[in-house]
Amino acid sequence: MVNTFGTLQFTSKICIANTGTVVGPVEKDSPFADSFDEVLSLETEKEETNEQANTRMIEKACHWAAKKNHTQVDKVDVLIGGDLINQLSPTNFAARSLAIPFLGVFSACASSMESVILGCLLLESGNAKTVLAGASSHHQAVERQFRYPLQYGTQKPKTSQWTVTGAGFSLLEKDLKNTPVVTHATIGKVVDSFQTNPLHMGAAMASAARDTIERHLTNTNSKMTDFDVIMTGDLGNIGISILKEMFQDENTGVILQDAGAQFYGDDKFFNAGASGAGCSAVVFFSQIYEQLKKGAFKRVLLVATGALLSPLTFQQGETIPCIAHAIECRMEKRG
């Protein structure tokens, strides 16, 4: 592995062998819905609490990823994952029942790519043969922790985003044929652009995304047009337009996309679009992964963006620091 200012180049062939994605009932109308493995019929999925439902989704997503690869979760060497709930309890509890060695990670909504980067490092160093990596979020559990009770009547501004109920996990293995390969990764910096509005996180996260993308392009000696798509996790409609403006590059139009802005289509009910660790995870590991596998995409940069705020720091008047982790995936010619 070669490390250039936070951009890792993997010398071994690290493949995304398979993926598993599970989403909640609201997400069934998403334009990505056809690519999801499972859509729950209830937000709480027969569980008593939202947090338990989040745990159940993680377990299901891991089982899907393993099952599609004709293996069992208990044959996997390490599980790496994160979510947005205090002390990562949903992921910790899922790791309890999955009963394999587990690393919990947190970088808010960027946890999805942080997990994958750590998984790649474990494979690269030869310390694991198979790794399950991903992240999840649950709308109702997140609303309650970060905002207000679910039924509390408050007017949401046009900049606000809707946390996705979803879990996405990928199974990483070395030296496979006809599967997308993770060639590079860029570890994010915590960037603070002095934003204070927790209902406008796209603006806060845009500068973190810009920093990571710019470093990745410089360190890998590439330009935007080398990629089929550069997809950010959950900047939302407004956040992605801010990011495009920041690059001042005419190529950003089609190449630079955002999973959160596209997740709920044009539905105005969701205001600026989707957010959450589950948003980037389920989009990257469903449709983007499929497009890579089909060969429609040859080279993509997946940038998960996370706002590192808590209800406490925001009420104490702190600004919102953000982070973005990126992985570059390539699909070699079939055969």
Partner 1 sequence: MDQQQFQKIIDDKNPKVPYFMNILKAFIVGGIICTIGQLITFFYMRFFPFTEGTASNPTVATLVFIAMLLTGTGLYKKIAQFGGAGSAVPVTGFGNAVISAAIEHKSEGYVLGVGGNMFKLAGSVILFGVLSAFVVALIKTILVNLGVVSW
Query: Which parts of this chain interact with partner 1 (CB under 8 A)?
Result: 48-49, 144, 148-159, 193-195, 200, 203, 206-207, 210, 238, 241-242, 245-246
Q: How far is the CB of 18 from partner 1 (least distance, A)?
A: 34
Question: How many CB atoms lie under 10 A from the CB of residue 290?
Answer: 16
300: Cα separation from own chain's centroid: 14
Q: How far is the CB of 19 from partner 1 (least distance, A)?
A: 31
Q: ∠215-3-281 over CA atoms, to 5°? A: 65
Q: How far is the CB of 246 from partner 1 (least distance, A)?
A: 6
Quick one: 151 or 221, whose CB is closer to partner 1? 151
Quick one: 48 or 250, whose CB is closer to partner 1? 48
Quick one: 192 or 290, whose CB is closer to partner 1? 192
Quick one: 183 or 207, whose CB is closer to partner 1? 207
Tokens of 76: 């996997």
Q: How far is the CB of 197 from partner 1 (least distance, A)?
A: 10
Q: How far is the CB of 48 from partner 1 (least distance, A)?
A: 7
Q: How far is the CB of 112 from partner 1 (least distance, A)?
A: 25
What are the backbone dihedrals phi and psi of residue 17, each rounded to the nearest 5 degrees, phi first?
-70, -45
Q: How far is the CB of 227 from partner 1 (least distance, A)?
A: 21
Q: Measured between alpha carbons, how far is 250 from 241 in angstroms, rounded to an integer?
A: 13
Q: Which residues of 52-81 are buried (b: 16+ CB within 10 A; e: fewer)?
A: bbbbbbbbbbbbbbbeebebebeebbbbbb
Q: Which residue has the tokens 């989704």?
A: 57
Q: Let me know: does 165 contact 140? Beta carbons within 8 Å.
A: yes
201-219 vs 236-247: helix crossing angle, rounded to 10? 40
Quick one: 178 or 251, whose CB is closer to partner 1? 251
What are the backbone dihedrals phi and psi of residue 94, each rounded to the nearest 5 degrees, phi first?
-65, -35
Q: In this structure, is the dihedral angle defined by the CA atoms of residues 299, 300, 301 and 304, taken in order, positive or negative?
A: negative
Tokens of 143: 């609303």
Q: How far is the CB of 258 from partner 1 (least distance, A)?
A: 13
Quick one: 83 or 173, whose CB is closer to partner 1? 83
Quick one: 201 or 329, whose CB is closer to partner 1? 201
Quick one: 137 or 179, whose CB is closer to partner 1? 137
Q: How far is the CB of 26 from partner 1 (least distance, A)?
A: 13
Q: Let me know: does 258 contact 238? Beta carbons within 8 Å.
A: no
Quick one: 5 or 194, whose CB is closer to partner 1? 194
Going from the C-alpha of 186 to that of each of 50, 53, 259, the distances in angstroms are 33, 32, 19
Q: Measured between alpha carbons, how far is 95 from 105 in angstroms, rounded to an integer?
A: 12
